[in-house]
Structure 1
Amino acid sequence: MNEANTDFPARDASSRESTNGKRWWHKFVAVIAVANLLLVFFNLSYIPLRDVYLRYIPAIVHHYDPIKSIEPHPDTQRYLDTVDRATQQFATSGLEAAPTATLLKELRQQSTDLIAENPFSVANKFATFAKLKRRMEYQLDIPSAQQAFATFWSSPYLAQVGWDNALTFFDEKIRPLLAVAYFRAIDENGQFVDYFWQIDLYFIAFFALEFLGRTFLSSRRYEGLSWGDAILRRWYDGLMLLPTWRWLRLLPVLVRLHKSGLVNMQRILAQITHEPAAYLADRTSTFLLLRLVNQTQEAVDTGEAAQAILQPQNYLRVSDIDKVDAIIDRVLKLSIYKVLPQVQPDVEALLRHSLKGAFKESDFFQMLQQIPGMQALPMEVTEQFSEYLAQATYEVLANSYADLQGRELFDHLTQNFKQTLKQELQDKATQAELQSLLSDLLEELKLNYIQGSVQKNPEATLAEAEQLRQDVEERS
């Protein structure tokens, strides 16, 4: 016995360890899912935000550009290399040297080609290209970008403003715009080459194994649940395995965060779906009620309801038991054997009072009062007689249903009452009157319900339901 008792703590500890292990695993998988989702969103936003990364965190661009198959645009890169060589030439030989003139001529030609070919079109940065031209036009006060670049890379202009000042303007205003232009490789299908799938493949493999393992264990844990059914129940986890439309992974990640307990999504979901759920619930409840009332009204108008009650031969039943008779019999048993014993004093008092009053007003009592010597009949005799009659009446009422013959008489009375009522209800005039009244009653129910639903705010009803749910949770 003692050994058996000592097994329970061990089992409880083992169960707690198993539960803690599952929770730890769910949290671990949820963290991995969040990391993958953040990486997916970073990948999706990398191209639009590349200019920001290039300006403030260039290390990210240096490491992630190869994954997106991004390379510096050859035209802009060659242009910037030529500017760097010209800068060195200015510092060593000045503006009048022959090599300097050659470099300036080369820069003027490259500027013309740059404006004509627009290297920013590959990156879809037409606004950057327009800004580049406007800055050069504004700096030289020349309305043509091509002429502005040609003037900028001329010896007279550089000598006039100072080549160091001109290059300072170029490095601060023009070079950053040229640096954002890039070139992306294109595959045989005309799509940009993207190697992100090589990183994402590890996550997909992990979630695929976890998905198959968890659904398989669920199918083994629950009897009657096949592996395929378990997979269908966890269909949303399959979104983690899609190599495209990766943003859809947001749904399973939120589910995992909520189930793991890392984030409570209950309040967030309640607030997000509050207004749509309120109006949807209002419309759904209105539709259901109107559908029920309309079907009932149609059954009343066509006489199907009366036929189901009065002639139930074609009425679909789930058993051979007469439900109406069974309900009446059950109610009578409860009333006689359960309710009457508890209210017996009240019933006896009522019967005593009624019989006493009736006895005093009867001709027999009046006749006794006229007999000499009976005027002084004690009131105790009258009360005892009334009490006797009350007790006898109660016992007759209680025993008549328990007695076999009394039960048969009572059943006979009930059967005759139902048959007579059915016969009277089959009267055409009576049915027409009742159908009209019931149809009008149902129509009034519809109108009043719709009017009430219009006047009441469904959001207030939903808020009240939410408050009641919170109260129940706090009490429990």
Structure 2
Amino acid sequence: MIRPRWQGLKPQQNAGAWRRWDRMVAIIATLNLAWVLVDLSYIPLRNFWLQRNLYPVSSLPLVVPLPWLPDITPVLDPLKGIEPHRETQAYLDGFKRLDQALQTDSSLGLTSITLLKQQQKLTENLISSQRLLSSSNAAALDQLKNRLRARTGLNSAQQSADLLLSQGHINQNGWNRERQFWNQQILPLVEINYWRSIDENGRPTDLSWRVDAPFQLLFLLDIALRCLRLKSRYPAIRWRDAVLRRWIDLPLLLPFARWMRLVPVTERLSRAGLIQLEPLRAVISRGVVALLAVELFEVITIRVVDTFQQLIRSPQLPERVRGLCSHQTSDANEDQELLELLRLWLPLLLTKVGPALRPQLVALIGHLLQQSLSRSVMPEPLRRVAALQSAEAEFSRQLATGMVDSVLDVSRGAGNRIGQRDQVLETLGTDALDRLWEELAVILEQGPVLERSQDLLTSFLEDLKRSGFRQFRDQDDVDALIRELDGLNFSPADQTPKPPV
């Protein structure tokens, strides 16, 4: 393993205490994330939190009450600058007085009749002045009118309200039945109306920072402690690098885009061991890495092929070939690299590899010689005589052995001489290579060889690029690669994974 550039690595102390601290901060960060999600969604979902009723199908009057949920509107409304709307609150208070009077006075006395007329006037003002539009609840106003019309069958919402609050209608249908309609169908639409104050900048009031500020101070303290722990463990690391290593915690300190806190909170929970994300990470990384590997291989290979094509099309190709000569290079060490490589490998091939192949070479050359002799020297009738065939095979083997031994003796001697430092040999080898590059450059400069070779080579590379990269775009290849990775990761050690189907 490569050691870090800071060499003074100190063992981590109080690991148990720090682990408990990390878990506590991770839990607090999770609570803060829950608060952020509630805060960001409170205004759009205020009607739900106010009434705690769920409407699965908006087109049907189907209501699922959720009374077990806490009523958080008294706590969050002041933070958002929300106050009850005066007109709608007066309407609700008037209906409450009317309800109490009708429940105690079933004979509709003078007080009840007066309250009915007042409620008719309040309903008329509510519908005509469109008070529900003040909190962007235009749909609630239309829904209120539609329910009044559907209740009476009249075309006018105002006439429907006057009929439902008339003395004759109450006496005919009874207040208990009408009271249920108003409480379940009309008043919930009036309750959602509110008034929201404006701050000095002309924006709606939002005091959520008062709740968020203590969390951010705690996160700032935790980040400072993490940097201090990193600095104490790696003394040579700079403070700037220690802070930059905690870049993932930046959303915890930002007052905007607070939904991004999901990333550092998830990272903290995972590092604290409170949640296990490794299986999910492994599944995602396999797919991403497979796709990136294909894309990266395509880019690199296309770049290499394009570079070769540009080099081949270049009119300075003969000069580049001539530049390979030893007297054209600027680096003195570069002149001897090829010769050193030949001096390293030629003795090994001639003295080690070649003699090790002696039995195979003898058998191969002997067989070839026997086939040649039997076809060219031996007449057809004599080829079937067993004694002559045995003599022919023995002669071929002895001849092949002599030839191979002679060649191997020569190769051993040449290999030993090449392996030794010889200034004359180096000079002759350098001259031979220089002559090779010079003659090749001269041939390329003369005649149509250069242009024709450039066309053929570039066409070959273009065909290779087009035909070869079609396979990489096939999704089946990526899926097969992922299946192969799964087989390598999840197969037992003593079981060879099956090839992808």
Q: Which moved more, 1:141-150 or 1:300-309?
A: 300-309
Aligned to 1:368: none
Is the alpha carbon distance of 1:314 and 1:157 closer, same or farther for their aligned partners in structure 2, counting shifts above 3 Å? farther
* Correspondence 1:300 to 2:312: yes
Matches within 5 A, 1:90-109: 90-94=102-106, 96-109=108-121
Aligned to 1:414: 429
User: Structure 2 counterpart of 1:107, which letter?
Assistant: Q
User: Structure 2 counterpart of 1:128, which letter?
Assistant: A
Q: State the Cα distance separating 1:270 from its structure 2 match.
A: 6.3
Q: Which moved more, 1:259-268 or 1:101-110?
A: 259-268
Q: Take 1:229 and 1:191, find their aligned partners in 2: how far apart are those partners?
A: 39
Q: State the Cα distance separating 1:322 from its structure 2 match.
A: 3.9
Matches within 5 A, 1:119-138: 119-138=131-150
Q: State the Cα distance separating 1:433 from its structure 2 match.
A: 4.6
Aligned to 1:423: 438
Aligned to 2:157: 145
* Correspondence 1:118 to 2:114: no
Aligned to 1:460: 476
Is the alpha carbon distance of 1:188 and 1:174 closer, same or farther for their aligned partners in structure 2, counting shifts above 3 Å? same
Q: TM-score, normalised by structure 1?
A: 0.76
* Correspondence 1:402 to 2:452: no
Aligned to 2:205, the other structure's residue is in SS state coil
Is the alpha carbon distance of 1:83 and 1:189 closer, same or farther for their aligned partners in structure 2, counting shifts above 3 Å? same
Matches within 5 A, 1:14-413: 24-53=20-49, 54-55=51-52, 56=66, 57-94=69-106, 96-218=108-230, 221-222=233-234, 225-265=237-277, 267-268=279-280, 282-304=294-316, 306-312=318-324, 320=334, 322-336=336-350, 339-340=353-354, 342-343=356-357, 346=360, 393-403=407-417, 408=422, 410-411=425-426
Q: Take 1:119 and 1:273, find their aligned partners in 2: how far apart are those partners?
A: 54
Q: Take 2:205 and 2:116, find their aligned partners in 1: how far apart are those partners?
A: 37
Aligned to 1:461, the other structure's residue is in SS state helix
Aligned to 1:367: none
Q: Take 1:18 and 1:237, find their aligned partners in 2: how far apart are those partners?
A: 23
Question: Whose helix proportion is higher, 1 or 2?
Answer: 1
Q: Which moved more, 1:253-262 or 1:206-215?
A: 253-262
Is the alpha carbon distance of 1:400 and 1:20 closer, same or farther for their aligned partners in structure 2, counting shifts above 3 Å? farther
Is the alpha carbon distance of 1:182 and 1:462 closer, same or farther for their aligned partners in structure 2, counting shifts above 3 Å? same
Say what the alpha-carbon RMSD is for the aligned residues.
4.2
Structure 1, unaligned runs of 5 or more:
1-13, 359-378
User: Structure 1 counterpart of 2:461, which letter?
Assistant: L
Q: Percent identity?
A: 29
Q: Take 1:405 and 1:157, find their aligned partners in 2: how far apart are those partners?
A: 121
Q: State the Cα distance separating 1:79 from its structure 2 match.
A: 1.4
Aligned to 1:183, the other structure's residue is in SS state strand
User: Structure 1 counterpart of 2:349, which letter?
Assistant: S
User: Structure 2 counterpart of 1:423, which letter?
Assistant: E
Q: Take 1:330 and 1:91, find their aligned partners in 2: how far apart are those partners?
A: 111
Q: State the Cα distance separating 1:178 from its structure 2 match.
A: 2.0
* Correspondence 1:440 to 2:459: yes
Structure 1 contact 95–101 (Cα < 8 Å) conserved = no
User: Structure 1 counterpart of 2:436, which letter?
Assistant: L
Aligned to 2:381: none
Is the alpha carbon distance of 1:257 and 1:343 closer, same or farther for their aligned partners in structure 2, counting shifts above 3 Å? farther
Is the alpha carbon distance of 1:421 and 1:247 closer, same or farther for their aligned partners in structure 2, counting shifts above 3 Å? same
Q: State the Cα distance separating 1:28 from its structure 2 match.
A: 4.2
Q: Which moved more, 1:14-23 or 1:132-141?
A: 14-23
Structure 2 contact 350–414 (Cα < 8 Å) conserved = no
Q: TM-score, normalised by structure 2?
A: 0.73
Q: Summarize deviations over 1:295-322 as a string: whole Å, max 9, x none.
A: 2111111145554443147778696564
Structure 2 contact 312–457 (Cα < 8 Å) conserved = yes
User: Structure 1 counterpart of 2:43, which letter?
Assistant: I
